[in-house]
């Protein structure tokens, strides 16, 4: 029933998301163990270290360095920070996400470099978890403690992207701009006029197994980068569980993200997702990066709910209940357009048919979608402001995302959706190891 290409963003983590109930045993802790021993520690006893009777007294330093334990709370998952690519791209979507666009205030290239080093340091700590640094008596605490005294990793990923505006005159980096990075154009069906949620110098996609972990990470990063970064806009998203199986449903009730490239196939990811040094006119430093498209797509759900099921299904080209293409029975079935040249089964202007015609010519246009649902209040009419935080990764934003988006112009669905913000960013190559930092290649 399930397709291996389906991003399994939902139920696999549901079980993990429960805090490890037994993990707290140890915090019943040294302190308790000591109480009876403190018995021996009357006035006469002086400085006896009753404390150390407990094993806690032994090998303190070792315990400190090795086991700043991050699994006591949260999901217990730690997603590796270092690697050729950033985490949060191929990573199956965690339950909670925020997309935050910043403008960079750094006054020169050295400041920009310092920003990336600081970002790296914070992201490394936050994604690995541990005990926040103790600043002593002469400072407010270093950590907000919204996740408790010890920061859990909790499946956190922080994915850093840069916008085209970072390569303007400010830092002398124009020559190093990723070849396909542009300002996101306005597409014909967009509703971007007067939008305050467009573009940005820097984009952080912060995802974790819990909402509070996402917010904690953002607060930590903002505090540590105050002199270089100013928040510009922010959009929060959530993953819905599989209902009942397979890909998550968007707020129109249809399964979304069914036909993604296979993230486990190096061939596919190298051909469709990762940018390569020297290829496609790209500069050398982009090896292992990816173009990120973020779009805030409002869904007019009140209107949609007044549309007949047949019309809804014809707009998507899929069954609403199973997610199967109208030509199939299960969601993983491949739509057979060759047998249906006139769109008698799946209309020619159905969303899935326009987005992915499944031809040899369009095969290289596929994108990795990693979207989140959003819900952020109401509009002036009292209608719900809900929709999809569309996010996708691709090797060449012109060849892939824009080609798809261009085919979708004026699709029937446009009456029920309203893209209101977003931007194009270039997700940086991964931080290779402990001595590397974000965008190090940009400064090499």
Partner 1 sequence: MWNDAFPSFLIGLREGLEAGLIVSILVATLVRAGQRARLGAVWAGVGAAVALSLSFAAVLTFTAADLPAGGQDVFGGVLSLIAVGFVTTMVFWMRKSARSLSGDLKARVTEALGRGAGVLVLTSFIAVAREGLETSLFLWTTAKSAGESQGPMIGAAVGIALAVVACWGLYRRVLKINLTKFFSVTGAVLIVIAAGVLAYGLGDLQEGGLIPGHTAYAFNLTSIDAGSWYATLIAGTLNLTPAMSWLQVIGYLLYLPPTMFLFVRGMRSAAATAERKAAAQAPAAEPATPLTRAQRRAAARVADEQALAARIAAKREAKQEREAARRVPRWAVGTSIFAVPAVAAVAAIAVLGPGKSAAASNDIALSESSCGTGWANPEAGAQTFNLTNNGRNTAEVYLISPSTNAVFAEIENLAPGTTRPLTATLSGGSYAFRCAFTDGTALSSKTYTVGGGSSGGSTGFAPVSDQDLQQPVADYRAYVQQNLPVLLADSQRLAADLAAPDLTAAALAAAKADWLTAHLDYEGLGAAYGTFEDFDAKIDGRATGLHGGVNDPSWTGFHRIEYGLWHGQRAAVLKPLGDQLVADIQSLIKAFPSQTTDPNDLPLRTHEILENTLQFQLTGISDYGSGTALATASANLHGTQVVLSALVGLMQARDPQALKSIDTWIQTVAADLNAAQRPDGSWTALDQLTATQRQKINGDLGELLEQLSVVPDLLEERSSA
Please give the residue ranges that form the binding site for partner 1 (CB under 8 A).
25-26, 28-36, 38-64, 66-69, 103, 105, 131, 133-140, 149-150, 223, 226-230, 232
What is the DSSP secondary structure assignment for residue 247, as one 8-state letter? S
Residue with tokens 């205030």: 105
Write out the DSSP string of 68-128: ----SSTT-------SSB-TTSSSPPPSEEEEEEEEE--SSHHHHHHHHHHHHHHHHHHHH
Q: How far is the CB of 391 from partner 1 (least distance, A)?
A: 24
The Cβ of residue 202 has, within 10 Å, a number of other Cβ atoms equal to 27
Please say which residue, 35 or 306, places its beta carbon nearer to partner 1: 35
Q: Which is nearer to partner 1, 38 or 418 (CB)?
A: 38
DSSP string, 256-306: -S-S---TT-HHHHHHHT---TTGGG--GGGTT-EEEEEEEEEE-HHHHTT
The residues, ordered by sequence, that sit 6+ positions from 248 with a Cβ below 8 Å of its Cβ are 9, 10, 239, 240, 241, 242, 255, 256, 257, 373
Judged on CB neighbours under 10 Å (0-12, 13-18, 19+), 353 is buried
> Facing residues of 291 across strands?
394, 426
Q: In terms of CB distance, is 35 or 361 closer to partner 1?
A: 35
Residue closer to partner 1, measured from CB, 56 or 357: 56
Nearer to partner 1, 38 or 191 (CB): 38
Closest CB 18 distance from partner 1, rounded Å:
20
Q: Closest distance between partner 1 and the C-beta of residue 297, in Å?
A: 24
Q: For partner 1, give the closer residue by CB, 45 or 110.
A: 45
Nearer to partner 1, 21 or 360 (CB): 21
**Shortest distance, position 24 Cβ to partner 1, whole Å:** 9
- Of the candidates 343, 209, 339, 255, the one whose C-alpha atom is nearest the C-alpha of residue 1 is 255
Distance CA 262, CA 101 (A): 28
Cβ of residue 67: shortest distance to partner 1, in angstroms? 5
Shortest separation between residue 130's beta carbon and partner 1, angstroms: 9
In whole angstroms, give the CA distance from residue 385 to residue 402: 26
Q: How far is the CB of 293 from partner 1 (least distance, A)?
A: 23
């Amino acid at each position: 029933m399930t397709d291996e290409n389906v991003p399994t963003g939902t139920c696999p983590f549901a079980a993990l998301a429960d805090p490890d109930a037994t993990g707290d045993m140890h915090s019943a802790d040294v302190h308790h163990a000591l109480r009876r021993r403190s018995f021996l520690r009357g006035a006469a006893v002086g400085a006896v270290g009753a404390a150390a009777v407990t094993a806690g007294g032994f090998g303190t330093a070792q315990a400190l360095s090795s086991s700043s334990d991050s699994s006591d709370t949260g999901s217990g998952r730690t997603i590796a920070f270092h690697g050729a690519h950033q985490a949060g791209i191929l990573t199956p979507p965690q339950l909670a996400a925020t997309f935050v666009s910043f403008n960079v205030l750094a006054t020169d290239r050295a400041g920009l470099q310092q920003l990336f080093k600081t970002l790296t340091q914070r992201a490394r700590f936050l994604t690995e978890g541990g005990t926040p640094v103790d600043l002593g008596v002469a400072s407010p605490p270093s950590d907000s403690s919204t996740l408790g005294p010890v920061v859990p990793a909790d499946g956190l990923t922080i994915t850093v992207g840069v916008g085209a505006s970072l390569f303007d005159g400010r830092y002398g980096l124009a020559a190093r701009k990723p070849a396909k990075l542009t300002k996101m154009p306005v597409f014909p069906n967009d509703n971007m006029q007067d939008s305050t949620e467009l573009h940005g110098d820097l984009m952080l996609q912060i995802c974790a197994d819990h909402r509070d972990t996402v917010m904690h990470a953002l607060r930590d990063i903002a505090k540590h980068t105050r002199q270089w970064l100013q928040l510009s806009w922010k959009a929060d998203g959530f993953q819905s569980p599989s209902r009942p199986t397979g890909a998550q449903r968007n707020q129109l009730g249809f399964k979304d993200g069914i036909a993604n490239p296979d993230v486990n196939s190096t061939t596919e990811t190298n051909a469709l997702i990762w940018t390569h040094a020297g290829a496609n006119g790209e500069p050398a430093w982009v090896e292992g990066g990816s173009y990120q498209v973020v779009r805030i797509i409002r869904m007019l759900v009140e209107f949609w709910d007044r549309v007949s099921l047949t019309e809804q299904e014809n707009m998507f080209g899929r069954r609403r209940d199973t997610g199967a293409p109208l030509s199939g029975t299960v969601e993983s079935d491949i739509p057979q357009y060759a047998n249906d040249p006139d769109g008698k089964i799946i209309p020619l202007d159905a969303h899935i048919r326009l987005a992915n015609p499944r031809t040899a010519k369009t095969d290289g246009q596929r994108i990795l979608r990693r979207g989140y649902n959003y819900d952020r209040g109401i509009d002036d009419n009292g209608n719900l402001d809900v929709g999809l935080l569309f996010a996708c990764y691709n090797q060449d934003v012109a060849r892939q995302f824009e080609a798809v988006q261009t085919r979708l112009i004026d699709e029937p669905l446009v009456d029920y959706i309203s893209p209101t913000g977003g931007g194009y960013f270039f997700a940086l190559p991964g931080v290779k190891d402990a001595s590397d930092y974000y965008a190090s290649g940009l400064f090499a």
